[in-house]
Structures are given as C-alpha cells and as structure tokens.
Amino acid sequence: MGVFKLKKGHDILLQGAAERRVEKAPKATSIAVQPIDFRGLRPGMKVEAGDTVKRGSVLFVDKQRPEIIFRSPAAGTVREVVRGDRRAIQRVIIDVTADEAESFDSYSKTQISSLTSEEAKKLLLNSGLWPALRQRPFSKIANPEKSPKAIFISAVDTAPLQAETDLLLGDRTQDFQTGIDFLKKLTAGKIHLSTSSKTESWFKDVTGVEKHLFHGPHPAGNVGVQIHHIDRLLAGEIIWYISPRHVAQIGSFLSAGAYPGKKIVALTGSELINRNYVEASDGAAIKDLVTTPLDNARQRVISGNVLTGRKARSTGYVGFYDDMITVIPEVQGRRMFGWLQLGLNANSFWRLFLSKLTPGKKLAPNTDMNGEERAFVSTGEYEKLLPMDVLPVHLCKAILVEDIELMEKLGIYEVSPEDVALCSYICPSKIEFGAIIEKGIQTMEKEG
Amino acid sequence: MKFLENFLNDMDVKIKKGPLKIIHPMFGAINTMLFTPGHGTTIGPHIRDSIDMKRFMGIVIFALIPSILVGSYNVGHMAGVEGLFSAFMFGFLKLLPIIIVTYAVGLSWEMIFGHLRGHDIHEGFLVTGILLPLTLPPTIPLWQVAVAVSFGTVIGKEVFGGTGMNLLNPALTARAFLFFTYPGDISGDAVWVAVDGFTGATPLAAAAASTGPAVDALNHAGFSLSQMFFGFIPGSVGETSTIAILIGAVILLVTGVGSWRIMLATLIGAYGMALIVQFFSGDVVGGMRSLPPHYHLVMGGFMFGLVFMTTDPVSAAGTNAGKWVYGILIGVMVILIRTFNPAYPEGMMLAILFGNVFSPLIDHFVVQGNIKRRLNYGK
C-alpha cells in the first residue's frame, strides 16, 4: 500500500454540490447509447429505427474489432439513429417500454475463480461491458488482443462537484468484490485501487487489490496521475483502467446473469434547484432526471464535470463513463471593463482578484471564456497544476510543431486531455491544452 | 451602456468588412478593453479563470505607477523645480510626449502586423510602450524614440513572429538600438538633467571615473546611499528610485505576475559576483571595482531591469530550473560589465539582452534533463 501526498494541482470550489441523498428517478422515457462517448470508435449498427430491443440486446459493434459489442441498457423501441458531421453516428435513442431482459449465464464465486484468462476475456466481451475497460496510452476502449501490465481503479473524487464514490456504489460491496475477482483473470499484473481519505472506508474489506491512498488537490483523482506515481507507463507498455462503478456492474452482470443497465447519477451545478443523487438508467435522458426546467440559452448542461465533461444540451443524455450532470449558467453577453474588475466573485487560480482573500468561498461562474486567445506568454504556472514529471508547455509545443520523437520523450503516452484541463482553465492566453494533447495523441496513434 | 455595447458590436462588423479593415486590430483592442468579448466556452473546461492578458499586463502597468510618479518628480527636482507638485508636473510633461510617441509609433506597427496576421493588438505592447520611456533620459529627442520603437517592435519582435515568439525583450532592444546608434543622446553627462546646457553625471559614471575610493567620489558628488535608494539622482526616468521600483516588485510578486525565482536569482548573481570582485580587488583604489557590493543594487538601471525587464516571461527562461540559471547569469554579467568594461559604466541592459539570448539554450538543457530523468525511470 502506498500513500501519495500530491502538492501540485488546484481545487476549484463551486456552488451546487449534490446533497448526499439517493432518490429513485421518475420512470425513464428514453435512453441513448452514444458512440461519441468512446474515443475513436466507428460503430457498425446492428439495429435500425423501429426495431424492438430488450435490455441486453446488441445495438452496435466496433467496426475495427467486431468482438467488442455494445448492448442496450433498457428495453424499448429504437426511435432514431442520430448522425452528425459526415454521417458519423452520434447516438442511438431508444424509447423505453416495460423492462424485459436478455438472459445470460450467471457465475458463482468458485466458477469465476476457475475461469481461464481467455474464457474471462470472451465472457466480458460478450457481456457488452468490455467498453468499460479503457487503456493508456490513448484513453480508448482496451484492445482485447493485448494484455496489460496492470489494471488501475481510481476511487478518488477530486474534480469540481465530483459525485462521491460511496454513494455511486451504495451497498454493492459484494458486486464490487465479484468484479475484482473477475478482473484478476484479465491481467498477470496487479490491480491497483486508489482511494482517498473520504472513500477509503468503503473499500476496507475489498481483497485481491493493491490499495493506495491519494491526498491532494485535483487532478490527484485522475487515473493518469495515479499511474504515474504507482507504476509509470514505459515505452511499449499498456495499462487498463476502469471506474469503480463499472467494476460493480461487471460483478452484478456475473452474479445476476443479466445486463445491469442502472447507475447512480449525481445532479450538480449552481443552476439546479434540486440537487441530489438519482438511480437512473445507463444513458438516461437528462430531462428525465432533472426537475428544474432547463433553457439552453441560459444554462450549460454538461454530462460529467465542468472540467472534462461534454456539452450535452437539455435534450441530451448521460454519457457512458459519466456519473454526474452539471448545470451551470451560460455566459450572458459582454461585461463592461471586465479586466478592471476588483473581482470579489471572480473565480481564479491567480492572485489578481480580491476573491483570493476569501479562499474558502464557493463561486458560481458561468461559461465565459473571460478573454480571447493570445500568444503563449505566461510561464511557470502550468507546471504547478500537473502532479507528474511532465512539462505540459514543452509537450504542447512539441505537439504543435509535430516533433513525434520529442513528444514521445516528453511523455505524450502518459497524459490525457483530462490531465491538463486545469492548464486550460488557468491560461491567461486561453490556450486549449486539452485539444492540443488530443491532437498529439491522434498523431501518435497514426504514426505508432 | 447597452447603447455603447450595441454601437461597438455594430462598428466591429462594419470595420471588419469595410475599407477601414486595417484599423480593425486597433478597434478590436479598444472594443474588448471597454467590454469583455463575451464568448462562451466551446469545449471543456466549461468554466475558465477570470484572468486574461489584459488583466495580466494591466498589473505590470499598475506596478510601474510608483516609478512613473517618483521618476517624474525627480526629473523636475533635478532640473531645480521647486515644490512637490510643480516638480512632478515638470517631469511628467517631459515624460508624457515620450510615452505618446512610443505608443503611437509602436501601436501603428502592431496594427499593421495584426492586420497582416489577422489578430488583435496584443496587450504586451501596452507594457513595452511604458517600459521603454522609463529607461530613457528625459531629454531624448522624440524622433529618436520613434525610430527606436520601430526597431524594437519590428526587428525585436515582429520578425520573429510577433508577441510570444520574440527572443529579446522589445523595450530593451529599442533602448540598445538608441544606445549604439545615438550614444550622445542616451549616455554621457549632458542628457540626464532636463535643462539645456546643464550637465550632471550619473552616480555610475561618477563612481567609474573616481580615482580614489568610489564611495568617497559618490559622496563628494552628493550621492549618498539613501539618495540613490529614494531616487533623487540623475538617470533614466524610471530607474532612479529604488524604493518606487521595489513597491512595483511587491505588486508583481504578490500577484505572481513576476517570477520570484528570476528576481531572487538575479539579485544573488549580482551580489555574489560583486562580493567576488571586491574580494579580488582589495588593492584597487579607484573606479567601479572599489565599490562595495550593496551600492550596485541601488545604482543605475539594476533594480529596474531586475524587476521589470528580466521577468518578461517571453524573453526569459521558461522552465523553473532555467529561471535560476538565467537570473544568476544576468546578475553575474551586469557586475562583470560594470567593473571590468572600460567603455560602459552601466551593464544591466546588455546583461539582460545577453540573458535573453541564452534563455532558449538554458531551457533546452532543462528539457533535456527532464527527458533524461524520464528515460532513466524504472532502470
């Protein structure tokens, strides 16, 4: 067990945390499974509008690796296959009807322990839960043909308004343990479970994992940061990672013999009136969960957290990997002399506004860029926000000049856009670090 | 104010599309200075820090205010003007035309390049445009200022690709240009006091010319340590008052806009080098080498350069380890030039430009160090 005290990083204190109270969501009217949730996925459709599906029916597969399948989390009728730019499939929307589930074999503890790694792999691929496993480098669905040196699970919530792991998991310790027992079949290496002082107790009886304790501000909860400190990714290596909630879902699939299809979602953000946790379908429609009336012109609806979540609109759906919805105010036009403000309520990492004098104060910022893009000028601050031995500015510069060798040397394989989100957040020149890292990762995928 | 906002939005479209589009970079800068751009985030992070370049650069200008005030007063004071306010106004009216010419010429260049490259005027020039006048003598001919600003902006910055890409500090490039092309108007004894025909050597020149102990020569010329600290001595407008500069330094350090590493490293480099020079110059009786180390800190452009010029984030080293090397290098160089160079009593400008030239190399070695450390991980 390792204890890691990270100093670098920054916690953005926001209004609008969810109350620690789990409610049942009103009946779902529609759900969606969204290929855009999965980095680089090109889906091959198995259903079309009008088809009837059960919970657990196959909706689409990965065209490049057809053994990776995606199942429906609810029963109903396919309403629409929504396409975006260049006809890329964005989401499959299903109108929910009475629950009816495909049945699968269930497995006891001893059956799981006697599985070979090939059997376990096939079983997970067939379950439709394989996409829950992602890999580094590249932050995409794990490649089943490779085997990872270790599997990482982060149960550390450091992102702004982050849903709390113990509430997301509820009383499903048994499912979680079953999931861990099963995952051990997939790697010859260790399973690393990182917790924080807040989440440590929930996992106290879990066995079969190497436990770690992480202290420190965001992004200490990011799995990439934890990998860097626990067992750094070296050239040519692969690690897999998965969220605690997905581990429990795998456990539930194995013991119940049915596609799980439910998860807990935290409703957060200063613009929501009722903020709590709800039990919802995977891929639930946001308007089924949120009781506050939403207006896209006045509010930004995000699936995920404010740093790395996706703009979802009020008619959108909760993403596959997301456990929370955040609703914040949308920017309302121009402000006079914005750069001269005293800034009593200005959210900022810098010591340039009076709000720095009230450090514990929670703010409710809107989506204002607060400036325009400029040349890279400031130095020395970005490094304070990435608790890794990686130089974010120099890495980004290497990406911009497309120096592949230098990118590799400076650590492109170790970072993901989410790890540099705070760099984009604090940047006075409004440089999009995440987009640059994404570009670098795409270059490496093409070249490597 | 809605009326003004709508008017600006309207004008923005008209200027961008119309025959006056060359002034759009300038209009854009004024437009966003009056009202924030108001753009929302398109990708995550969905919220952004309240800081922008205007705020960032605005803090530097704010930090320069004490130097402007005391420097202006001192120009009047040196010229023999009586009374606090009269002396200040006298000096300020000498300084103002220099600032106006700097801004007018510099912003015109910025506008042309902004138009060619399709971006607004960058806020960095607002700082350059105030830094340069403060490093000049109050008697500088305005046409020279115009030529120098053109050189500093075009050759010092724009040919490298504009703000953020320049190797050298544009304000110092402009000053160095004047220093080498028109030395008679920026050095010597005749330029520091804004009264025709009146000469007065700067403390540095007095110390350099001394044949006995430099401190005696300074005292004889009427420059006590406290006078030099408070800034009632001949010199470039902004550089004379150490106390005013230090107030600015506090602002830069508290806000984090200026790098404490660079400031501290430069101070250590200079003081350390001055101690070494003093140690090996025990038998030297006159000139700069007989000057005690702490005198260097309050004389000439040292403190102004340390606080406002070395910390220019674009031309300084960008890595934290590199900042230490960069600062120490500048500190050592300034003392070497001051004590061993027979031609120039002042060395800060050249030392900083020297540091600027080396900063990419310094950063290169720091990055290589990171690469090496990363490669060795797990071995």
Task: Output the DSSP codes for A408-443.
Answer: HHHTTTT--GGGGHHHHHH-TT---HHHHHHHHHHH
From the list B43, B51, B318, which residue is nearest A352 (CB)?
B51
Q: How many helices (H) and strands (E) does chain A have?
A: 11, 20
Distance between A329 CA and the closest CA of chain B, angstroms: 10
Q: Do B39 and A369 touch (CB under 8 A)?
A: yes
> For residue A378, is pLDDT > 80?
no
Read off the pLDDT band of B121 (50, 70, 90).
confident
Q: Is B32 on the interface with A (CB under 8 A)?
A: yes
User: Under an 8 A CB cutoff, do B49 and A367 touch?
Assistant: no
| pLDDT at position A141 | 96
Confidence of residue B310 (pLDDT cuts 50, 70, 90): very high
Q: Which residue of B has its CA nearest to A354?
A: B255
User: Is pLDDT of B123 > 70?
Assistant: yes
Alpha carbon distance A251, A155 (integer Å) = 17
| CA separation for the pair B185, A443 (Å, rounded) | 55
The shortest C-alpha distance from A72 to chain B (Å) reads: 28
- CB contact B254 to A (< 8 Å): yes
Q: Best mutation site among A324, A339, A344 for testing chain B: the one with the most B CBs within 10 Å?
A: A339
- Among the partner-chain residues B41, B259, B367, the one whose CB lies closest to the CB of A391 is B367
Distance between CA A337 and CA B17 in Å, rounded?
26
Tell whether the model's pLDDT for residue B145 goes beyond 80: yes
* Candidates A334, A339, A347; nearest CB to B47: A347
DSSP letter for A71, please.
E
Cβ of residue B12 closer than 8 Å to a chain A Cβ? no
B118 has a pLDDT exceeding 90: no
Q: Is B30 on the interface with A (CB under 8 A)?
A: no
Distance between CA atoms of residues B157 and B311, nearest Å? 17
Burial of A207 (0-12, 13-18, 19+ CB in 10 A): exposed
B360 → chain A, closest CA residue: A394
Is residue B330 classed as helix, strand or coil in its secondary structure? helix
How high does pLDDT run on average in chain B? 91
Asked if the Cβ–Cβ distance from B50 to A347 is below 8 Å, we say yes
| Chain B environment of A349 (Cβ under 8 Å) | 49, 51
Q: What is the pLDDT of residues A155-192, one digit of tens each?
A: 998 999 999 999 999 999 999 999 999 999 999 999 99
Q: What is the dihedral of CA B245, B246, B248, B253, to 10 degrees?
A: 140
Closest residue to B43, CB basis, from A351, A380, A432: A432
Run of H or E including A212: strand A210-215
* pLDDT reading at B379 higher than 80: no
Residues 34-63 of B with CB under 8 A from A: 34-56, 58-59
Name the pTM for this structure.
0.94
Q: Taking CA atoms, what residue in B is nearest to A334?
A: B38
User: Would you call B36 and A334 a contact, using CB atoms and an 8 Å cutoff?
Assistant: yes
Residue of B nearest to A420 (CA): B45
Which of A340, A368, A413, A418 should we substitute to test contact with B (largest number of B Cβ atoms within 10 Å)?
A: A368
First to last CA, chain A: 34
Q: Which of B2, B35, B55, B364 should we substitute to test contact with A (largest number of A Cβ atoms within 10 Å)? A: B55
User: Distance, in angstroms, between A233 CA and closest chain B CA?
Assistant: 10
Predicted pLDDT of residue B62: 95
The answer, for B364 touching chain A at a CB cutoff of 8 Å, is: no
Q: How many CB pairs under 8 A join A and B?
A: 211
> Where does the pLDDT of residue A264 fall: very low under 50, low under 70, confident under 90, or very high at 90 and above?
very high
Contact B38 A334 (CB under 8 A): yes
Residues of A in contact with B254 (CB under 8 A): 351
Candidates A22, A14, A15; CA nearest to A276 is: A22
Residue to substitute from B33, B42, B47, interface A, most A β-carbons within 10 A: B47
Beta strands A58-62 and A69-71 are antiparallel
pLDDT in tens, A17-76: 999 999 988 888 999 999 999 999 999 999 999 999 999 999 999 999 999 999 999 999
**Confidence label for B345 from pLDDT (cuts 50, 70 and 90):** confident
Distance from C-alpha of A249 to C-alpha of A259, rounded to nearest angstrom: 8
Considering CB atoms only, which of B255, B371, B377 is closest to A350?
Answer: B255
What percent of chain A stands above pLDDT 70?
Answer: 100
Whether A16 shows a pLDDT value over 90: the answer reads: yes
Chain A, nearest residue to B56 by Cα: A428
**Is B373 in Cβ contact with A369 (below 8 Å)?**
no
Residues of B in contact with A434 (CB under 8 A): 43-45
B367 at A interface, C-beta within 8 A: yes
Q: Which residues in chain B have Cβ-Cβ distances shorter than 8 Å to A300?
A: 40, 46
Q: What is the pLDDT of residue B195?
A: 78
Contact A330 B255 (CB under 8 A): no
Phi, psi of B86 (to 5 degrees): -60, -45
Residue A334 C-alpha, separation from nearest chain B C-alpha, in angstroms = 4
Average pLDDT, chain A: 94
> From the list A304, A343, A391, which residue is nearest B50 (CB)?
A343
Asked whether the predicted pLDDT for residue A198 surpasses 70, the reply is yes
All residues of chain B having their beta carbon less than 8 Å from the beta carbon of residue A374 are 52-53, 122-123, 163-164
What's the N-to-C CA distance of chain B in angstroms? 65
Average pLDDT on B42-58 reads: 93
Smallest CA-to-CA distance from A428 within A392, A391, A381 is with: A381
Cα separation, B289 vs B246, in Å, equals 26
CA B264 from centre of chain = 17
pLDDT of residue A448: 67
Q: What is the ipTM of this complex?
A: 0.94
The CATH code for residues A2-11+103-256 is 3.40.50
From A300, A346, A389, residue closest to B373, measured CB to CB: A389
- pLDDT at A139 (0 to 100): 92
Q: Is B312 on the interface with A (CB under 8 A)?
A: no
Asked whether residue B76 carries a pLDDT value surpassing 70, the answer given is: yes
A307: which chain B residues are within 8 Å (Cβ-Cβ)?
44-46
- The segment(s) of chain A belonging to CATH 3.40.50 are 2-11+103-256
Q: What is the pLDDT of residues B163-191, one digit of tens each?
A: 888 999 999 999 999 999 998 888 887 78
d(CA B310, CA B330): 8
**Structure confidence by residue, pLDDT tens digits, B226-275:** 999 999 999 999 999 999 999 999 999 999 999 999 999 999 999 999 99
Chain A residue nearest residue B52, CA to CA: A428
Mutate which of A327, A366, A394, A397 to test chain B, going by most B C-beta atoms within 10 A? A394
pLDDT exceeds 70 at position A439: yes
Nearest-Cα distance to chain B for A317, in Å, is 17
Q: Which of A307, A374, A381 comes nearest B44 by C-beta?
A: A307
Of the partner residues A348, A424, A432, the one whose CB lies closest to the CB of residue B50: A348
C-beta of residue B257 within 8 angstroms of C-beta of residue B299 = no
**Do the Cβ atoms of A250 and A136 come closer than 8 Å?**
no
Percent of chain A with pLDDT over 90: 88
